[in-house]
Amino acid sequence: MTEELVRLGDYELDMGRVVRAVLESRARRILVQLPEGLKRHYPALLKCIKERVGLDVEVYLDASPAYGSCLIDLESTGSYDLVLHVGHDPYPYATYSSSKIVFLDLEYVGSEPESTISKLKRFLRSASAVRVAIVTTNQHKKLSKMIRSELESDGFSVVAGPAVVLGCYVPLDMGIAADAIVVVAGGFFHAIGVGMVARNSLVVRVDPYTRDVSDVSREVYRFTSRRLKKMAEALEARSWGILVGTAGQYRPWLVGRLVRLLSERDLNYYLYVAPVLTAEVLRNLDSPEVGAYVVTSCPRVAVDDLSDFEKPVLTPSEALRVIERLDVGEYPDSFLEKPY
Ligand code: SF4
């Protein structure tokens, strides 16, 4: 099916898919969820939709944070005929499904692929890496497919991917025989997440925004050293704050496990429900009673947004190690424990 691409800032959206989704569902009340930074394009998107499907549709923008599809709240979206969720793939840990939600890719189009791919090839050759796996985020799927085909036509063997990686989910079986795992994503969060799982592999970050190509082992080392320090500080805590998320970030199995372990060890705990968690929110509720916090919603909040908070704020995997007094000199191999 041919694409009808429209620009939203530096990104492209397939308007053909939007129109098909609206016409096929006969939706009249539509909720659009755009990632942070792109919400300002709602008027342009609205104009496009109305021009294509008619004026009698009501299109609302969801103004609440849309950091990931994990935040889709079925209760608040339930009153719409159709939810257009832009920029993220379906959340792999979601415990719900809804045919009313359509997931739409966004593709970043400012990456200058040719020079980035040439840089990557030179990097892989210098590391003698021939078998390659590729992971990426929603915004760089086309670039990643292009990387795959360019590598294959130049003698490399792509053994897996491109597959979509999330901060809390690494899709690859790390037993795969790859000399290098290429992570096509902006910033370091996703590459470090892959580096923690694939400890013995070369993890190469391709940043489409800066066009950097680099081995992330040094960043993984620095990151784990910083986090181990936080875990050591949390060993002193007699009382914990458990920060509980909402929608797909509500993880009752984790909350229950933390509560049980803390109770078994005669440690206090306090439960806080926080749909959006920032340093300001945490400072506002912080009490001298609490020695350490664990964020059970999004691991990125603990390792990025609250990494400089005055008290240790840990991911679930970090907190479980500390509370269970397991080997806290060794960093866990994931940010988030999987559902069980
Ligand atoms: S890393 Fe956070 S925002 Fe991203 S999918 Fe996971 S829980 Fe959601």
Compute the half-sphere exposure of residue 46: CA atoms within 13 Å on the CB side of its CA: 18
pLDDT confidence bin for 338, thresholds 50/70/90? low
Compute the half-sphere exposure of residue 189: CA atoms within 13 Å on the CB side of its CA: 17
CATH, domain range 224-323: 3.40.50.11860
Residue 330 has pLDDT above 60, yes or no: yes
Mean pLDDT (the chain, rounded): 92
Asked whether the domain spanning 224-323 has the same topology as the one spanning 5-106, the reply is yes
Of 164, 174, 226, which Cα lies nearest the Cα of 195?
174
Q: Is any atom of ligand 1 closer than 6 Å to the C-beta of 68?
A: yes
Q: Is any atom of ligand 1 closer than 6 Å to the C-beta of 138?
A: no
In this prediction, residues 175-201 reach a mean pLDDT of 89
Cα 161 to chain center, whole Å? 17
- For residue 177, the model assigns a pLDDT of 82
CB 293 within 8 A of CB 329: no
Of 107, 113, 153, which Cα lies nearest the Cα of 14?
107
Q: CA 180, CA 177: separation in Å to the nearest integer?
A: 9
Q: Where are the domains of the chain?
A: 5-106, 113-215, 224-323
- Which tokens in the block code for residue 245? 């998320």
pLDDT confidence bin for 97, thresholds 50/70/90? low
CB 274 within 8 A of CB 297: yes
Give the DSSP letter of residue 130: -
In this prediction, residues 242-250 reach a mean pLDDT of 93
CATH number 3.40.50.11840 given to 5-106: yes
124-153: pLDDT as tens digits: 999 999 999 999 999 999 999 999 999 999
Q: CA 26, CA 234: separation in Å to the nearest integer?
A: 53
24-52: pLDDT as tens digits: 999 999 999 999 989 999 999 999 999 98
**Strands (E) located in the chain:** 5-8, 11-14, 29-33, 58-61, 82-86, 101-104, 106-108, 131-136, 157-164, 180-184, 202-207, 212-215, 239-244, 268-273, 292-295, 313-314
Measured in angstroms, how far is the CA atom of residue 285 from the centroid of ligand 1? 23
Hey, which of 33, 64, 69, 70 would you mutate to test ligand 1's pocket, going by the most ligand atoms within 8 Å of its Cβ?
70
The model carries a pTM of: 0.91
Maximum separation of any 2 CA atoms in the chain, in Å? 63
Hey, which of 88, 297, 300, 334 would you mutate to test ligand 1's pocket, going by the most ligand atoms within 8 Å of its Cβ?
300
Q: Are strands 106-108 and 11-14 parallel, antiparallel or unpaired?
A: antiparallel
Query: What is the residue whose two structure tokens read 């009340």?
Result: 29
CATH, domain range 113-215: 3.40.50.11850
- Counting Cβ atoms within 10 Å, is residue 259 exposed (0-12), middle (13-18) or buried (19+)? middle
Residue 3 has pLDDT above 90, yes or no: no
The torsion of the CA quartet 40, 41, 46, 49, rounded to 10 degrees, works out to -160
Q: CA 274, CA 253: separation in Å to the nearest integer?
A: 17
Helix H segments across 78-207?
A: 113-126, 141-152, 189-197
